[in-house]
């Protein structure tokens, strides 16, 4: 039986569609993508930032087709094939791109071991604190749940932005901490319109930092039109989405 989430718009739109069109030729690296997925967008941003040649292949992860399950048994985007070998998980893929393509700049992580470890601490904070709070707020149905999740998100974002050296997390270079957060920042308008989210309430320069992330060319080039994204997020706002993330939030589990 089909689930409603299967009936998503089949392709990227707007700026993202133009980027897809530029990456149809065969390459050593095949990027299996779901245009709508923020986890997926992390890898897409990284590919664009580093100028790595890649072939873009659109996948509907809700259909779990056999070829894609052979690439990623979880059936989730993003995933890649690199010289015929498969990998998946967004942040692992971003670090893989950093290591597999050392001559492609910019660096996504600092060269200094301490600074690199420090960045990873705040990537971990993003994964464990910011993203779960974002999705709890998105799916919360009662006013009390929304108020609690919104405050949790503000607190988590405030802790992160207090570490930002400016204009980006590590300073002048746009890097992996910024990439880890950018897709959700680009979707904050959904929380603002439907969940009372106000980025100015985070304070400590979050609004300015968020604006810089959204304005980054690699973020704009990998973001589809708002009306197509809204259709998908309407299911989350009603707490009806059947993605693995939505299921995890409902069950109170950590995100997959």
Q: Where are the beta strands (DSSP E) in 150-248?
A: none
Cα–Cα distance, 206 to 160 (Å, whole number): 9
User: Which of 30, 37, 131, 210 does the annotation list as catalytic?
Assistant: 37
- Grouping H, G, I as helix, E, B as strand and the rest as coil, residue 90 is helix
What are the structure tokens assigned to 68, written together? 């894609």
Distance between start and end Cα atoms, the chain: 24
**Among this protein's residues, is 37 annotated catalytic?**
yes
Cα–Cα distance, 129 to 181 (Å, whole number): 11
Cα–Cα distance, 224 to 216 (Å, whole number): 14
Cα–Cα distance, 222 to 1 (Å, whole number): 31
Cα–Cα distance, 256 to 245 (Å, whole number): 6
Q: Which residues are catalytic?
A: 37
């Amino acid at each position: 039986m089909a689930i409603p989430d299967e009936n998503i718009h089949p392709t990227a739109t707007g700026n993202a569609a133009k980027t897809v069109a530029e990456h149809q030729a065969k390459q050593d690296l095949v990027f299996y993508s779901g245009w709508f997925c923020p986890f997926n967008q992390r890898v897409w941003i990284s590919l664009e930032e580093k100028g790595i040649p890649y072939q873009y292949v659109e996948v509907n992860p809700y259909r779990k087709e056999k070829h894609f399950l052979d690439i990623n048994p979880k059936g989730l985007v993003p995933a890649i094939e690199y010289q015929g070998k498969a990998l998946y998980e967004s942040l692992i893929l971003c670090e893989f791109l950093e290591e597999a393509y050392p001559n492609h700049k910019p660096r996504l992580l600092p060269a200094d071991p301490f600074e690199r470890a420090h960045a990873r601490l705040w990537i971990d904070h993003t994964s464990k604190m910011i993203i779960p709070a974002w999705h709890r707020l998105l799916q919360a149905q009662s006013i009390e749940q929304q108020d609690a999740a919104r405050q949790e998100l503000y607190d988590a974002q405030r802790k992160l932005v207090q570490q930002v050296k400016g204009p980006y997390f590590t300073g002048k270079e746009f890097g992996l901490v910024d990439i880890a957060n950018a897709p959700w920042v680009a979707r904050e308008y959904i929380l603002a319109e439907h969940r009372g989210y106000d980025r100015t309430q985070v304070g400590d320069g979050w609004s300015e930092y968020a604006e810089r992330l959204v304005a980054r060319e690699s973020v704009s080039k990998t973001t589809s039109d708002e009306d197509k994204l809204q259709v998908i997020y309407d299911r989350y706002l009603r707490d009806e989405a059947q993605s693995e993330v939505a299921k995890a939030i409902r069950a109170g589990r950590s995100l997959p």
